[in-house]
Every structure is written in C-alpha cells, then in structure tokens.
C-alpha cells in the first residue's frame, strides 16, 4: 500500500525532473518551475547528493514553532497554565496602549471573526479586555489586563533568556550574523509586498 509520504515524494521527484527538463528549454520556464520548487515547505531528497534538503523557510518555521512551544512550557511552569501557543498570535500584536480589533486581525493575517474568537478566549482567561472606542462606537480596543501585562513582562524575560541561549550555542559573531541575515531576507520580502 502506498503511503501519503510516498505519493508526495513521487510527486516531488516528478517536479524535480520537470525542473531539470526546464533547465534545457529556457529561462522563462525555469523561473516558473523554480518558484514552484522554492514554495515547497516539505523536505525533498536531493538525489545527486543523497541528502535531504530542507528549504530555509521550513527551517525558520520549525525553529519558530520550537521557540513558541518552549516559551509556552516555561510560562506554564511559572503559573500561566492556561496560555497556549495559539494565544501568542494575539498576544504578540497587542501593544501597551491597546489596538483596534480590526488592526489586530490585519496584523495577525486572520479574519476579524477568527480574531474576535481568539480575543474572546483571552478575555475569558483574564489576559485582555475589550474597550469601546469613544470615536467609533462599532470599534473596540484590545488592551492587556493587569494579569495580561504580568504575562507579557514574564514572557519578555523568558525570551531574553532564550535568546541568550541562542548566543551561547552559536557564539556572538554567528548569532549577530544570523540575525542580520534573517532581517535582510525579511526586508526583501517586505519590499516585494510593498511594490
């Protein structure tokens, strides 16, 4: 019986062979296929080197998920037992002055309805509160409660400690280079979006 991963790997190998054919037939086709290949977030086997290639975006995503999981575990051990990694998609976008719910949804790149549910969950847990906008009765601000601000204050300390661990693993020079390189890639994508 063929498993999903075997079918997926077979599709990827066909895609790679199309890519190699495209190399023979011109730049236009190469660019189109190259985009498809580079958008794949799954591991692919480099048959010539007999190694698994993991796209950079996937490495960054996996690192980000591991970072969030560790942060949630540490917060849990410090008494914030009801905070999930899903809550971070709201918490990371709320600033001390508060933020409109619609802007929060835009920043998190999710629908207003989905953000409303996520904020409602955090409101029930006591981390945020909704405040009506005096200038627009339909709009609401999301602000941290005292409990929410304590969570954020602790998270900042924990994140600093995690970053310190990254520096120890890589060494200061390589750590700074990593930050510089990732920032450069991020700015490149942002500039493309603005055009």
d(CA 115, CA 89): 9
Q: What is the pLDDT of residues 45-79, one digit of tens each?
A: 555 566 677 788 888 988 999 999 999 999 999 99
Which one is the CATH code of 59-194: 2.30.29.30, 1.10.10.10, 3.40.50.300, 1.10.1060.10? 1.10.10.10
What is the rounded CA–CA span in Å between residue 136 and residue 147? 27
Closest CA to 130 of 121, 140, 139, 122: 140
Give the model's confidence band at 30: pLDDT under 50 very low, under 70 low, under 90 confident, else very high. Answer: very low
Whole-Å CA distances, 58 to 4, 35, 43, 65: 19, 15, 8, 10
Rounded average pLDDT over 154-177: 96
Cα separation, 13 vs 162, in Å, equals 38
- Per-residue pLDDT, averaged over 108-134, amounts to 92
Structure confidence by residue, pLDDT tens digits, 167-182: 999 999 999 999 999 9
Residue 12's pLDDT is 54
pTM listed for this prediction: 0.72
Domain ranges of the chain: 4-54, 59-194
83/138: higher pLDDT:
83
Task: Examine the pLDDT at 115 and tell me if it is beyond 60.
Answer: yes
Asked if 130 contacts 119 with a C-beta cutoff of 8 angstroms, the reply is yes
Q: Is the dihedral of CA 134, 140, 146, 151 positive or negative?
A: negative
What are the residues whose beta carbons fall under 8 Å from the beta carbon of 43, sequence distance 6 or more? 52, 53, 54, 58
Identify the residue with better confidence: 109 or 166: 166
Q: Are strands 99-100 and 51-53 parallel, antiparallel or unpaired?
A: unpaired
């Amino acid at each position: 019986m063929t498993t999903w991963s075997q079918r997926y790997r077979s599709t990827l190998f066909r895609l790679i062979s199309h890519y190699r054919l495209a190399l023979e037939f011109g730049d236009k086709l190469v660019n189109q296929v190259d985009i498809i290949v580079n958008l794949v977030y799954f591991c692919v086997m480099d048959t010539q080197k007999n190694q698994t290639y993991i796209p950079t975006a996937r490495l960054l995503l996996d690192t980000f998920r591991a970072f969030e999981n560790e942060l949630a575990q540490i917060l849990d051990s410090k008494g914030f037992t009801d905070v999930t990694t899903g809550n971070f998609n709201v918490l990371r976008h709320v600033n001390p002055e508060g933020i409109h719910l619609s802007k929060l949804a835009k920043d998190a790149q999710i629908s207003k309805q989905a953000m409303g549910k996520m904020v409602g969950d955090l409101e029930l847990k006591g981390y945020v509160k909704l405040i009506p906008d005096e200038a627009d009765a339909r709009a609401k601000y999301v602000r941290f409660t005292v409990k929410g601000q304590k969570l954020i204050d602790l998270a900042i300390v924990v994140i600093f400690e995690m970053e310190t661990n990254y520096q120890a693993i890589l060494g200061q020079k390589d750590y700074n280079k990593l930050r510089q390189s990732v920032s450069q890639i991020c700015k490149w994508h942002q500039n493309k979006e603005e055009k």
